[in-house]
Every structure is written in C-alpha cells, then in structure tokens.
C-alpha cells in the first residue's frame, strides 16, 4: 500500500523528537508499508537534502537505542522530502496539490503538528484545492481548542471538509503499550472483570507525575495549564479505560461508545464539590535530584504574577450501577518528586478478619504506565513459621507482591505509542483515536472548573519543586479516609 505522510510543522519539536523517531522504528521493524513517502512541510527555506541533514542531526538527541546507523539512515532518508509552505497563506496550497499529484498514493495522511488556530484555515484551503478526497486522512494534535466552544468550532470546521472516519484526533497515551495492556487486562482475562465493581473496589487513583518543568514551552503552557494539558485528555482517557463497560467487540465505535458513556456518567460539579474536590497548585523554587529548581513564575515566557496551574488533583465519581459510591482520584503536575504514571486500584479489605494483618492492609493492583511498564498485585500472605511462637505467627499476615515487568518480557517486541498510532492512521484504524463527541463531553465536564478558577482571586496553591504538590491534595483524599501511595 503506497502512502504519503505530510507532516505540517515538519521542522518543529514534535516532529523531530517523537514522529521521526517513531517512523524510523517502524521502518527498522519492517512494519512501515512499502511505497511510502514522508514530506516535511514548514516555512523554512530548505531543499530535500538540507531537510534530510536536519533530521539526521536531530537523531543525535534521541535515546541511543532509537538512533539509526549511517547505513540505516541512508535508506530511511530515501523516504524523506521537503516542501516550503505557509499554512496560513491560501496562495501556497497549490504547491501542496502539485506535490501530491507527482504520484497517486493509495493513502494520504496530513498530520497537523501545528497551532490549533491554523486548523480551520487548513481545512478550508485543502477543500478549495480539492485535497479532501476519500483517500485523505487528517491527524489533529492536542490541544483541540481552549474550551468547549472553541473545540466545537474546530470540530465543525473539520467535519465540513472531512468525514468522521477521515479524522484522527490523537492522544498519544492511548498508544502506549501499557494502556493497551490495560484493555487486555480487563477484556482479555476472566480473572479481574468480576471484581471490577463497587462491591470489591474501595477507590481508584490515577497519577501522572513529572519531574520536569515546562522546559521551553513557557508561552504555550502559561495559556494552557495542567487541567487543559493533561486532565481534559490523557487523565480522562485513562479513567474511561478503567471505568468503561466491556464493549461488544473490538471495533472503534464499540470502544468509543463505551468511553463516551463513562464521560457522560461523571458526576456534575457543584459549587461545594468544586471547593472541596478540586485542588490546583503552582510550583515554587525547590530541589530536584539535589539540584536547585526555579519557580514557575521565573520560567521564560511565563507572565509575572501568573495564576496558571502546574498541578491539579481532583476527586470524582462515575454515577452508574457498577461504580456508584467509588471515588476516583486524579492528580498530575510538573516539578514533582518523581516521574511516574500509574493507576492504583485499591480493593476493599476482607469482610471478616480471621488473621492479624498490618493496619489498613488490603489488596492493591498497580498498573504502571511510565517509566516502568507492568503490573504489581499486592497481596497478604503468611510469613516464615516461628517454632517458638507457632500459634501467633500462623495467624499473622505480611504484605507480598507479584511484579510483572512487560518491558523485560516483551522488550524487543514492544511498539512505541507514536509508532503504533502512525501505523494505525496509515491503515485507517480508529480504535485508539478520540471521537468528537468524546472530546466535547470531556470539555463540558472540565469547563465548570475553569469557570470557577476565573472567579477565584486567590490563585493556585504554592508547592515547592521536588515535592508531591500542595498539602491540600493530601487533605482532599484524607477526608475519605484514604491516602496517596507515597503517604500510606
């Protein structure tokens, strides 16, 4: 199957940090379809040879295992081409049409790694140039809008030009092998599904923590914040994967229908729950790995006196038969004490205790997403028998755990998130992409939080870089009698 993959924003960070390494890995693994052409599009004045040299130099900055040898890059470079073009200029679109007409590819994928403000202009001009035929697919990067209204506006513009089956709204978390294993855990094994409900689960915690600050994205992040950047998309998609009902099959719409039901079942916000169940924070100066780390307001591109949140913790519930009364906790932040993403499923204690066990001990399932990829199942078991006090020790339980490391088991066979998603777009598989009604429902749910913050003159709570966020986050979960993992 021949394909043209057009990367708008072809000299930008996303392309050289994520997309090109993913495409090279697919090429190296032999999974990239033959007859492909990858065209970088940007406003820089470059030749094909100069673009190839630029991408080659950028590979020096990706992790060692993903760098090509000289011979490998020489073969990969044969797929790379460049087109100088300004997406905001209607006069430049005939050049794009001419480039695509150089050959007749079975599939044309247009990947918009650009500012969302260009999406509407792009769609209008693509239609005017006659480039929205049935073989065309468009990939939209987040954030898709700034609020519900702008998200609807972008979706309406795109849908006027492309059908829903041509639109791939990407959330790279859905492409992570660990998230794929989350679906496999639930719907490919009989072990856990009967326990996946309110009668046996006490609470579920989703943590996406980063040690890094905002790096060079100050201007972007200061107008976005953690709620829009992480909660509205990544965290809610993980919540859907945990909370959804089993789909009738593995088809894209069957899966997305069930995720949509979860989003529609999230308890609506009230003034009281907004005060008690939502915590926002902003990092101040602190220490990361023994080195000093500056405050958020000192970052380049951040406005003085900024109220943008770099941390969010919240409590919600899925108001349906399966999950009634089970709290779901979400937290995410920058400059935290560690880099980790995981989902912790905390089960209820045994209903009748006949053994002695540590205070508060109960079974836990921890699904690690990054940097570790695997499962931990925490159980209780008898320790070593003590002949001098046999009766006492035989009635005492101690924590033990089963640890499954998927990287060790499948390491050489693993497919990265962007590699999987790019191959799915080329093949036309929508399972791991977000439908417009899912996105709109997620925006609808977070919008009351955004509105409440507009009217909050106090701003985000401060926390020191290198900690786990504001103490109010711990107080929020403690009101239910629970604690975050590192505090228990």
Residues 36-65 pLDDT 10s: 999 999 999 999 999 999 999 998 888 777
Q: Is the pTM of this model over 0.85?
A: yes
> Which structure tokens are listed for 207?
């943590």
Residue-level pLDDT at 390: 55
Q: CA end-to-end span of the chain, whole Å?
A: 53
Residue-level pLDDT at 61: 82
Q: Is the pLDDT of residue 383 over 80?
A: no
Residue-level pLDDT at 111: 96
Q: Is the pLDDT of residue 413 over 70?
A: no
Residue-level pLDDT at 215: 85
Q: Which residues, 6 or more positions from 45, have their beta carbon under 8 angstroms from its beta carbon?
A: 84
Write the burial class of residue 379 (CB in 10 Å: 0-12 exposed, 13-18 middle, 19+ buried): middle
Residues 293 and 465 sit within 8 Å (Cβ to Cβ): yes
Identify which has the larger pLDDT, 193 or 393: 193
Residues 374 and 406 sit within 8 Å (Cβ to Cβ): yes
pLDDT band at 67; cut points 50, 70, 90: confident
Owner of token pair 């190839």: 52
pLDDT band at 144; cut points 50, 70, 90: confident
Q: Determine the Cα–Cα distance for residues 210 and 270; give it in Å rounded to an integer.
A: 30
Of 53-67, 125-139, 319-333, highest mean pLDDT: 319-333
β-pairing, 278-284 with 201-209? unpaired
pLDDT band at 96; cut points 50, 70, 90: very high
State the average pLDDT for the chain: 92
pLDDT band at 389; cut points 50, 70, 90: low
Residue-level pLDDT at 181: 84
Q: Determine the Cα–Cα distance for residues 174 and 244; give it in Å rounded to an integer.
A: 14
CB atoms under 10 Å from CB of 160, counted, come to: 12
Range 147-164 average pLDDT = 92
Residues in the chain: 488
Write the burial class of residue 320 (CB in 10 Å: 0-12 exposed, 13-18 middle, 19+ buried): middle
Please, what is the angle between helix 252-265 and helix 436-454, to 10°? 20
Residues 172-200 pLDDT 10s: 889 888 888 888 888 999 988 899 999 99
Q: Determine the Cα–Cα distance for residues 465 and 285; give it in Å rounded to an integer.
A: 6
- List the 36-42 sheet strands across, edge first: 80-84, 36-42, 3-8, 107-112, 136-140, 167-169
Q: Is the pLDDT of residue 436 over 60?
A: yes
pLDDT band at 385; cut points 50, 70, 90: low
pLDDT band at 255; cut points 50, 70, 90: very high
Residue-level pLDDT at 141: 86
Range of weakest confidence among 111-120, 436-445, 471-480? 111-120
Distances (CA, A) of 91 to 10, 66, 83, 96: 19, 38, 14, 10
Q: Which residues, 6 or more positions from 271, have their beta carbon under 8 angstroms from its beta carbon?
A: 452
Range 426-451 average pLDDT = 96
Is residue 277 part of the annotated active site? The answer reads no
Phi, psi of 375 (to 5 degrees): -125, 145
Q: Determine the Cα–Cα distance for residues 163 and 155; give it in Å rounded to an integer.
A: 11
Given 234, 277, 368, 378, which residue is catalytic?
A: 234
Range 397-403 average pLDDT = 89
Range 5-32 average pLDDT = 93
Q: Determine the Cα–Cα distance for residues 477 and 60; give it in Å rounded to an integer.
A: 44
The stretches of 411-478 forming alpha helices (DSSP H) are 417-427, 436-454, 471-478
* Gyration radius of the chain's alpha carbons: 24
Q: Determine the Cα–Cα distance for residues 303 and 305; give it in Å rounded to an integer.
A: 6
Residues 258-309 pLDDT 10s: 999 999 999 999 999 999 999 999 999 999 999 999 999 999 999 999 999 9
């Amino acid at each position: 199957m021949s394909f043209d993959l057009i990367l708008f924003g072809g000299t930008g960070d996303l392309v050289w940090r994520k997309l090109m390494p993913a495409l090279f890995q697919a090429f190296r693994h032999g999974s990239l379809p033959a007859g492909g052409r990858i065209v970088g599009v940007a406003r820089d004045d470059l030749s094909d040879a100069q673009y190839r040299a630029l991408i080659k130099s950028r590979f020096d900055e990706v992790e060692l295992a993903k760098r090509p040898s000289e011979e490998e890059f020489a073969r990969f470079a044969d797929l790379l081409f460049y087109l100088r073009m300004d997406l905001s200029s209607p006069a430049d679109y005939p050049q794009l049409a001419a480039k695509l007409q150089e050959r007749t590819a079975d599939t044309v994928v247009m990947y918009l790694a650009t500012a969302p403000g260009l999406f509407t202009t792009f769609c209008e001009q693509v239609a005017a140039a006659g480039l929205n035929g049935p073989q065309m697919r468009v990939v939209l990067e987040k954030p898709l809008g700034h609020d519900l209204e702008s998200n609807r506006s972008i979706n309406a513009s795109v849908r006027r030009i492309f059908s829903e089956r041509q639109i791939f709204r990407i959330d790279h978390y859905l492409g992570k092998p660990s998230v794929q294993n989350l679906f496999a855990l639930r719907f490919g094994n009989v072990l856990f599904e009967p326990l996946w409900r309110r009668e046996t689960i006490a609470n579920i915690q989703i943590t996406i923590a980063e040690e890094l600050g905002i790096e060079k994205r100050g201007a972007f992040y200061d107008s976005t914040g953690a709620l829009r950047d992480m909660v509205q998309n990544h965290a809610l998609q993980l919540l859907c994967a945990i909370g959804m009902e089993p789909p009738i099959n593995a088809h894209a719409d069957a899966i997305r229908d069930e995720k949509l039901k979860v989003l529609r079942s999230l308890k609506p916000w009230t003034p009281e729950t907004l005060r008690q169940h939502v915590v926002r924070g902003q990092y101040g100066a602190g220490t990361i790995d023994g080195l000093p780390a500056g405050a958020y307001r000192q970052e380049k591109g951040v406005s003085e006196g900024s109220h943008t949140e770099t941390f969010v913790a919240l409590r919600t519930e899925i108001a349906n038969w399966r999950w009634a009364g089970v709290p779901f906790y979400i937290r995410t932040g920058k400059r935290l004490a560690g880099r980790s993403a995981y989902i912790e499923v905390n089960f209820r204690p045994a209903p009748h205790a006949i053994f002695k066990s540590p205070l508060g001990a109960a079974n836990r399932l921890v699904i690690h997403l990054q940097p570790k990829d695997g499962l931990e199942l925490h159980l209780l078991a008898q320790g070593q028998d003590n002949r001098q006090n046999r009766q006492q020790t035989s009635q005492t339980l101690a924590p033990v755990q089963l640890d499954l490391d998927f990287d060790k088991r499948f390491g050489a066979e693993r497919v990265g998130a962007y590699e999987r998603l790019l191959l799915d777009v080329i093949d036309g598989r929508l399972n791991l992409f977000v439908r417009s009604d899912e996105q709109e429902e997620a925006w609808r749910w977070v919008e009351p939080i955004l509105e409440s913050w507009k009217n909050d003159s106090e701003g985000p709570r401060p926390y020191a870089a290198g900690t786990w966020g504001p103490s109010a986050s711990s107080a929020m979960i403690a009101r239910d009698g629970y604690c975050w993992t590192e505090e228990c």
